[in-house]
Amino acid sequence: MNNPVFEPLLNQAQITVDSGKRAAVLQKAWDRFYEVHPIAPLAIADEIYGGRKDLVGMWKILQMGRLTIREIFTCRISFL
């Protein structure tokens, strides 16, 4: 991010020894970042849902409660 307000604040935070002052500078940097980019995704969902009309055996997954990607790829579960 090339921003004339944001960059100096980060540089100032890096050289500020006092933790209280550094926190205040970082808060100003965060406020500026939020003004420019109001949404900053920090994580993505680790659950994926999908289905097709011709899928069979889904009731077994519902009975188990959950199914991990590792279980799918290691073929530890029989769907039929």
Q: What is the pLDDT of residues 30-57, one digit of tens each?
A: 888 888 877 766 777 676 666 666 666 6
Q: How far apart are CA 48 and CA 46, in angstroms?
A: 7
pLDDT beyond 90 at 27: yes
**Residue 77, number of CB atoms within 10 A of its CB:** 13
Q: What's the whole-model pTM score?
A: 0.46
- pLDDT score at 17: 93
Is the sign of the CA dihedral 63, 69, 74, 79 positive or negative?
positive
